Chains A and B, each alone.
Chain A
Amino acid sequence: MKCSNYREEFEVQGIASGEFTSHSLECADCAQFLKEDSALTELIGELPKREAPADFGVAVRSRIQRRKSGPSGFWSVARIAVPAAAMILIVGFVVMNSDLFINDSPKLNDTAVKLDKRDTTGDEAPVLQEENAGEPVSPKESIPVAESNSELAAGDREVPNGPSKDEDQEARKDIPVKKKESLSSIDSTDQAFEEVETTNPPGLDPDKKLEDVKRPEKRSFTDSEILRALGMNTVWNGSRLMVTSVTRNSVAQRSGVRTGDRILSIDGRAVSKDSVGSAKAQALALRVMRKGKALNLSIR
């Protein structure tokens, strides 16, 4: 048997067979091999054993307890706090910029362009029926409603030599003015509302018809409140609205209102307990009854 075979057998078995021992007496290389292997075993055997520290068991139990109670300290707090803070920031950002997101829609401008075109062509357009106005509105004073982009295209076809892009831009600039003009003759009590309506209120979806849009709540005043603002205190005596006092140097006093006057109408509208009107910083025409005579007072 060759030396390599002896050695392989020895390495696999881990023990030198009798044959290999006899062979090693005659073979210097194999003798050297066995000597080195023996020295190696001795060297490894002399390696000192490292022992665990005395508090090893305590440390293991402590680790187990920590894992049982989950992650603690900073990271346990951070794991919850960071996503929560991120959510709050995102929600806050969206809420604060909701107007920006909604009003950036280009479709609203398309609606405005269409308004302008309808005015120039004189086409009959859907009429905004004001529920609170009380009076029907003429087509010229009405607010055209964009049905869709296809309708807009149809409008373009109806205009001979339709506006170029530049003309279109100019038309857009004029829109707010034209809108306000067209609304000027609408009932005064709804004017404030209409002005709000035409200045793209927050939340207006250009795809919706104006009839479907929920209108902002109007700021309304009773007749007594309106008169009090002008400088006169009133009281209802049955169906009569009587002036009980007039504030010195007030608008009412300068206009000639006196204590004891009975207010008949405001701006031509008969006063009543139930009526409400919008306030406006413009001239008011008061009709009062004083000593059996009706007087017209203009309050400015």
Chain B
Amino acid sequence: MYAIKAMPSQMYTGRWQIDTGTVKMDTCMALDNFGLADSEVITATVSYKDLSDHRLIEATKEGDEDAFAEIIERYRNPLTNYIYRMLNDYEEAVDLAQESFVRVYFAIDRYHSNYAFSTYIYRIATNLAISEIRKRKRRRLFSLTGLYQYEGDDEKEFQPPDNKPLPEDNTVNAEKREVIEKAILALPEMYRVPIVLREVQELSYEEVAAVMKLGLGTTKSRISRGRRLLRERLRKYFDDNK
């Protein structure tokens, strides 16, 4: 939080006088919303939460660590949940989500504001998750468990047990959760990524297409195909719960 006292005419010079020193341009630009008159001395309070992703990124580029902390705060939960749904491994999901932020930080100069930051970070997380899935597939090929796979199980990944209890867990919910989680995890990655982004993370078709670098039509097609696969896998469950 900054308590800002500044002349509006200085707004576009990038340096504002504040009570604790100087504040960076990107932070001050948020004051555009205050509708200040010329030569008016203002006192305003600006929070990082009021800044857009792009402004926070620009501030981070200039070395503002607090701006990057706000980025982390905004995306840590969605990203952790997304990777968790891709891998069904909470520890690995947290690790890869952290790695995503680290990569964003070190490649921040290469980020362009032509597309949404959410798309950018989801793409990084997707690449990391797919990488991990393929690594596990290779590991499974060389493991003894691979010898006892039955036909039709090829698409399933080796999943370590996730024993972390959830607060609202009960028998019914746990059963439902297990059924749908297994069904999602059984999807090939080309369908799993758009399904999780669209159905779990609730991104728009356009955002999913941007993350996957695919056309909108292809993205919709993959999502519908993924849903069809899920319905087929869950048919027995639906029949049992009529």
Contact = CB atoms under 8 A, between A and B. Distances in A.
Interface of A: 8, 11-12, 14, 33, 35-37, 39-41, 43-44, 46-53, 56-57, 59-61, 63-64, 67
Given A44-B200, A47-B200, A63-B102, A52 B80 contact: yes
A9 B98 CA distance: 40
Given A44-B199, A52-B94, A57 B76 contact: yes
Interface of B: 65, 69, 72-73, 76-77, 79-81, 84-85, 90, 93-94, 97-99, 101-102, 105-106, 166, 168, 173, 176-177, 179-181, 184, 199-200, 220-221, 223-224, 227-228, 230-231, 234-235, 238
Contacts, number: 87
A33 B238 CA distance: 11
B98 A51 contact: no
Contacts of A49: 77, 81
Given A36-B238, A37-B227, A56 B199 contact: no
B77 A52 contact: yes
A283 B234 CA distance: 113
Given A43-B176, A48-B166, A56 B97 contact: yes
Contact of A40 (B101, B168, B234): B234
Contacts of A36: 231, 234-235, 238
Contact of B98 (A11, A46, A56): A56
Main secondary structure of the interface of B (DSSP, over half): helix
26 contacts: A8-B224, A36-B234, A37-B227, A37-B231, A39-B238, A41-B199, A43-B179, A44-B184, A46-B173, A46-B176, A46-B177, A47-B85, A47-B177, A47-B180, A47-B200, A48-B166, A48-B168, A50-B84, A50-B93, A52-B94, A56-B80, A56-B94, A56-B98, A57-B69, A57-B76, A61-B69
A12 B221 contact: yes
Contacts of A47: 85, 177, 180-181, 200
Nearest to A12: B220
In the complex, the 8 A-B pairs of residues with the closest C-beta atoms, listed nearest first? A11-B224, A52-B76, A52-B80, A50-B84, A43-B180, A60-B101, A44-B199, A57-B72
A57 B80 contact: no
Given A11-B228, A67-B106, A53 B94 contact: yes
Contacts of B73: 57
B105 A64 contact: yes
Given A47-B200, A48-B166, A60 B77 contact: no
Contacts of B90: 50
A87 B88 CA distance: 48
Given A39-B238, A44-B199, A11 B227 contact: yes
B168 A44 contact: no
A27 B170 CA distance: 37
B231 A40 contact: yes
Contacts of A64: 102, 105-106
